[in-house]
């Protein structure tokens, strides 16, 4: 009799836990069912992944209950999550937790309402913080129905502290409930808007060839991964939309992944105009919206899902097509457990379902290009821009040859300032890119050399002028900057490595009559705020937009004719074998934002290394030449794509213990790997101290993925022996810092 359930619990342990199914629950519990189980002295949330009739454990505890309002998992998603856990050597419960974040799996959200009987009370709060509390009361007066707490916080522009204070006073109530959208009968949203709206233009021959091949695989319901390699502005999105139309017309679901949340609003608008309702899934959405979109997908009310990395696990019913836009982006790789790569999980999901997967990029990774060369992917080329628009002309500004700088910060050259002024005189828009936020990345004393560094991470603090604080971007430590050096009392503190905030201030002083805005993690406090900044730029209200990577890819703004890259070689000095590849990709992407309308585009790259092959390849938009340079080195050193890589990081508050642990485990790994796995290290990590912990790392290289995982699993099983040392395994790492 099959009365034993294997339950995955979100803890960093690879195996599932066996529980006995009570007789009264035998008919209720199937794989994918959310359950509450005893776990140590407490009860934990988990999911049944298998029903069996045997267990190696003689005594089993019973399942406590089925979580009636919990989110269930389909058989298809369970299979995918099992593969994810095995490939990335993590716990199956951790993988499920990623696919079902808390607002989705529990489906209850925190809401706020008037206390019964006090609906007409006036917003007459007094004392400290009264303005914020009165704002809350005024908002609730205008919205008599319960309001999600997160929406109340965003719309009132406050923290949740005034809301909690009002709740303690008994004026309002904070409670948890299912969103009102759940369980409301009505017509399916999938039928409410046509999915075949006409296109704004006819595809060119290259696009039609790509569309036809993808459609063929959709009709055949057969697996094939396509690498859609198209230059910036070549119309890759139109190929995605037409392929999606075919899948939707056949009653199939579609999943579209995007690398950045910043790209989501524009993409949603374009897909919704042509394809109808879209379920959106990303971390900056309010909990209520995430839960509702997830539920509508699960019920089949919406057939098209769009989102960032974790949306690869979206419960799209009858999935018939997966699209991964900008598939080269490292943001698809999760940096905490489970450390999955959404691009590779998407390919595996398509393979398991027997459906096509489209990987689109103007700058594909070397791994994707090698897969195409080996025949594992089918390559589709888009070599011309839509309407045969010319690519932007690229000008190199060699900062070494300038006798003087155009602005006090030294970031804007005289030539770039002239180009900006000419562009503004033509009533066109400017996009400036600098991959460094804040006002200055380093504050130090000019006399004694003292540097303001993070106490926990031992890296320079970044100064943020608008908040007048210096902050660590890893652990968030904050500190005020004094007028005098704390070491020698000298008053001449200097700020180096200016960031986007400093650039914005400089632009405002140089062009006082022009609207300047900034897009980075400091200004984007919510998805709504990000959309507002981008919409003003699209509408022409903003003439100059300066930002970090968030502005570099995917945006299609016809008014932009000048793109300036302020520090083009900033990443070339990083200790990462992918630094040249990433630099060339990023420069090609940001250059592609110029000249997407009728007016020709210009790109200005400021650099002190104009002769570097990554810069030269980006100027010529010639990735083939970049590959020739990179391939010879990577083949010799067996780096991806000519070998497989894993990384183990050791972290401990005690520096000596970190090294001892790393050396002890590494010796075991070398014995286990023998001739199958090359073990390099241990060595200090490039970032030697983060969040109060000293760090060493080890690299594993092999020609066999399975051999790499076997050695990686050994590292995981040895973890409990050194409980104070954190040991992290990363399969296919994208970040070696």
Q: Where are the domains of the chain?
A: 4-100, 110-177, 189-385, 393-437+499-631, 439-497, 644-731
Per-residue pLDDT at 553? 63
Whole-model pTM: value is 0.82
Those residues whose C-beta lies under 8 Å from the C-beta of residue 585, and which sit 6 or more positions away, are 328, 363, 365
Those residues whose C-beta lies under 8 Å from the C-beta of residue 606, and which sit 6 or more positions away, are 397, 399, 411, 413, 416, 564, 565, 566, 567, 568
For 561-572, how does the pLDDT look when each residue is reduced to its tens digit (9 = 90+)? 898 888 878 778
Band of the pLDDT at 407, cuts 50, 70, 90?
low
Band of the pLDDT at 192, cuts 50, 70, 90?
very low
Give the Cα separation of 217 and 354 in Å (integer). Answer: 9
Those residues whose C-beta lies under 8 Å from the C-beta of residue 558, and which sit 6 or more positions away, are 596, 597, 598
For 196-237, how does the pLDDT look when each residue is reduced to its tens digit (9 = 90+)? 555 666 888 999 999 999 999 999 999 999 999 988 778 898
Mean per-residue pLDDT for 85-107? 84
pLDDT at 282 over 90: no
In the block, residue with structure tokens 């699960």: 298
The domain 393-437+499-631 is classified under which CATH number: 3.40.50.10210, 3.20.20.70, 3.40.190.80, 3.40.50.300?
Answer: 3.40.50.300
Per-residue pLDDT at 118? 60
Over the chain, what is the mean pLDDT? 84
The token pair at 216 is 């063929």
Mean per-residue pLDDT for 433-461? 79
Closest by alpha carbon to 274, among 252, 318, 314, 244? 244
The token pair at 675 is 């001739």
Mean per-residue pLDDT for 408-423? 84
Per-residue pLDDT at 263? 62
Q: What is the CATH number of domain 644-731?
A: 3.30.70.360
Q: Which CATH class is domain 189-385?
A: alpha beta
Per-residue pLDDT at 561? 87
The token pair at 165 is 């204070």
Per-residue pLDDT at 345? 97
Fold of 4-100: GIY-YIG endonuclease (3.40.1440)
Per-residue pLDDT at 636? 86
Per-residue pLDDT at 559? 82
Give the Cα separation of 546 and 64 in Å (integer). Answer: 55
Give the Cα separation of 6 and 53 in Å (integer). Answer: 10
Give the Cα separation of 241 and 195 in Å (integer). Answer: 10
Percent of the chain with pLDDT over 70: 89
Band of the pLDDT at 552, cuts 50, 70, 90?
low
Per-residue pLDDT at 8? 93
For 694-734, how does the pLDDT look when each residue is reduced to its tens digit (9 = 90+)? 999 999 999 999 999 889 888 877 765 656 888 899 999 99
Per-residue pLDDT at 433? 86
Expressed in percent and rounded to 5, the helix, strand and coil fractions of the chain are 35, 25, 40
Same fold, 4-100 and 644-731: no
Report whether 608 contacts 400 (CB < 8 A): yes
Mean per-residue pLDDT for 516-540? 79
For 618-643, how does the pLDDT look when each residue is reduced to its tens digit (9 = 90+)? 888 777 788 888 888 888 888 999 99
Per-residue pLDDT at 197? 58
Mean per-residue pLDDT for 253-258? 95
∠ Cα 45 51 56 (to 5°)? 90
Per-residue pLDDT at 380? 95
Those residues whose C-beta lies under 8 Å from the C-beta of residue 281, and which sit 6 or more positions away, are 290, 293, 294, 305, 306, 307, 308, 310, 311, 314
Per-residue pLDDT at 185? 37
Three-state SS at 76? helix
């Amino acid at each position: 009799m099959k009365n034993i359930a294997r339950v995955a619990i979100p803890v960093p342990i690879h195996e599932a836990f066996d529980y006995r199914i009570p007789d009264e629950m035998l008919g209720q519990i199937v794989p994918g069912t959310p359950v509450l189980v005893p776990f140590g002295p407490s009860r934990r949330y988990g999911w049944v992944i298998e029903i069996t009739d045997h267990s190696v454990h003689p005594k089993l505890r019973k399942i406590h209950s089925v979580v009636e309002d919990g989110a269930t998992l389909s058989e298809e998603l369970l299979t995918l999550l099992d593969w994810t856990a095995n490939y990335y050597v993590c716990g199956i419960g951790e993988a499920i937790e990623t696919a079902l974040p808390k607002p989705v799996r529990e489906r209850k959200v925190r809401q706020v309402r008037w206390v019964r009987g006090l609906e007409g009370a006036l917003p007459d709060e007094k004392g400290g913080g009264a303005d914020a509390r009165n704002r809350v009361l005024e908002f609730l007066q205008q919205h008599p129905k319960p309001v999600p707490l997160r929406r109340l916080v965003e719309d009132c522009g406050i923290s949740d502290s005034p809301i909690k204070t009002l709740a303690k006073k008994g004026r309002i109530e904070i409670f948890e409930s299912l969103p009102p959208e759940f369980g409301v009968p009505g017509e399916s949203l999938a039928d409410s808007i046509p999915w075949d709206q006409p296109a704004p233009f006819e595809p060119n021959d290259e696009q039609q060839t790509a569309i036809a091949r993808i459609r063929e695989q959709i009709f055949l319901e057969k697996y094939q991964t396509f690498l859609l390699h198209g230059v910036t502005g070549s119309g890759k999105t139109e190929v995605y939309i037409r392929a999606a139309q075919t899948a939707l017309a056949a009653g199939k679901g579609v999943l579209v992944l995007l690398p950045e949340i910043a790209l989501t609003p524009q993409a949603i608008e374009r897909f919704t105009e042509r394809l109808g309702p879209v379920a959106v899934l990303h971390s900056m959405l309010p909990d209520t919206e995430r839960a509702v979109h997830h539920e509508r997908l699960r019920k089949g009310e919406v057939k098209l899902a769009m989102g960032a990395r974790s949306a690869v696990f979206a419960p799209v019913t009858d999935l018939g097509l997966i699209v991964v836009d900008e598939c080269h982006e490292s943001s698809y790789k999760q940096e905490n457990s489970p450390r999955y790569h959404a691009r590779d999980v998407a390919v595996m999901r398509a393979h398991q379902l027997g459906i096509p997967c489209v990987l689109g990029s103007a700058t594909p990774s070397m791994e994707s290009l090698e897969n195409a060369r080996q025949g594992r992917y089918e390559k589709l080329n888009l070599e011309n821009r839509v309407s045969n628009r010319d690519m932007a002309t690229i000008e190199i500004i060699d900062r070494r040859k300038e006798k003087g700088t155009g602005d006090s910060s030294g970031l804007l050259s005289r030539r770039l300032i002239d180009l900006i002024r000419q562009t503004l005189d033509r009533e066109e828009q400017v996009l400036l890119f600098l991959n460094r936020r804040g006002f200055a990345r380093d504050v130090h004393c000019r006399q004694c050399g003292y540097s303001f560094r993070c106490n926990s991470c031992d890296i320079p603090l970044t100064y943020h002028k608008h908040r007048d604080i210096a902050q660590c971007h890893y652990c968030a430590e904050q500190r005020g900057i004094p007028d005098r050096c704390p070491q020698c009392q000298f008053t001449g503190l200097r700020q180096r490595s200016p960031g986007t905030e400093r650039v914005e201030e400089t632009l405002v002083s140089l062009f006082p009559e022009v609207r300047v805005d900034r897009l980075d993690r400091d200004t984007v406090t919510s998805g709504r705020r990000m959309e507002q900044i981008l919409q003003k730029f699209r509408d022409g209200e903003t003439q100059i937009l300066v930002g970090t990577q968030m502005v570099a890819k995917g945006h299609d703004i016809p008014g932009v004719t000048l793109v300036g890259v302020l520090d083009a070689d900033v990443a070339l000095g990083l200790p990462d074998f992918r630094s040249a590849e990433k630099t060339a990709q990023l420069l090609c992407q940001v250059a592609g934002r110029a000249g997407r309308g009728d007016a020709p585009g210009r790109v200005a790259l400021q650099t002190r290394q104009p002769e570097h092959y990554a810069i030269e390849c980006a100027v010529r938009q010639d990735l083939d030449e970049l590959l020739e340079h990179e391939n010879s080195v990577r083949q010799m050193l067996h780096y991806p794509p000519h070998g497989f890589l894993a990384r183990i990081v050791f972290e401990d508050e005690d520096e000596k213990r970190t090294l001892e642990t790393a050396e002890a485990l590494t010796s075991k790994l070398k014995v286990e790997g023998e001739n199958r796995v090359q073990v390099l290290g241990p060595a200090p990590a490039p970032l030697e101290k983060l969040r109060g912990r000293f760090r060493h790392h080890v690299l594993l290289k092999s020609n066999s993925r399975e051999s790499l995982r076997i050695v990686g699993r050994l590292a995981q099983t040895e973890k409990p022996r050194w409980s104070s040392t954190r040991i992290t395994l990363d399969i296919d790492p994208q970040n070696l810092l």
